[in-house]
Amino acid sequence: MPDITVVLPSILQPLAGGQSVLTAPAGRAVTVDALLDAVTGDYPVLARRLRDETGALRRYVNIYVSGEEIRRLKGLETEVAAGQEVLIIQSVAGG
């Protein structure tokens, strides 16, 4: 069964022990919410960079599942299947 891969932007990689890609085993489809729980379980600071303490995705954090931004799908409830790639990218914001 292929894993689900989560690709981190370089700025967050130090918070994941220097890894650029985190993987989660995918026996079945999981939500992005559950996927983030799984891959950031060992990296609590990384987890807080992505979602606030209510569990909401931070406003300028974009997550793409197979190229689609999840806010255009079902948000954190978007399902990810084995073999799919999830990209975390900071949005273009600020000045």
Partner 1 sequence: MGTMANAESYILAIGTKKGLWLAHSTDRKEWSLNGPHFLMSEIPSIGIDTRGDSPRIMVGVRSEHWGPTVAHSDDLGATWTEPDQGAISFPKDTEAALERVWQIYPDAESRPGVVWAGCEPISVWKSTDGGEHFELNRGLWDHPHRSEWGAGYGGAAAHSIVVDPSGEKVHIAMSTGGVYRSLDGGASWEARNKGISAYFMPDPNPEFGQCVHKIAADAAVDGRLYAQNHHGVYRTDDGGENWESIAEGLPADFGFVMLTHPRRSGTAWVVPLKADGERIPPDARLAVHRTDDAGGTWKRLETGLPDHEYNAVLRDAAAVDTAEPVGVYFGTRGGEVYASADEGESFTEVVSHLPDVLCVRAAVVSGAAVPAGAASA
Name the residues that contact partner 1, by CB under 8 A. 12, 44-45, 48-50, 52-54, 56, 58, 60-61, 90-91, 93-94
**How far apart are CB 73 and partner 1 at their closest, in Å?**
21
Instruction: Give the H or E element holding residue 80.
Output: strand 79-80
Residue number with CB closer to partner 1 (12 or 32): 12
Backbone angles phi, psi at 61, to 5 degrees: -105, 125
**How far apart are CB 37 and partner 1 at their closest, in Å?**
15
Distance of CA 47 to the CA centre of its chain: 9
**How far apart are CB 63 and partner 1 at their closest, in Å?**
13
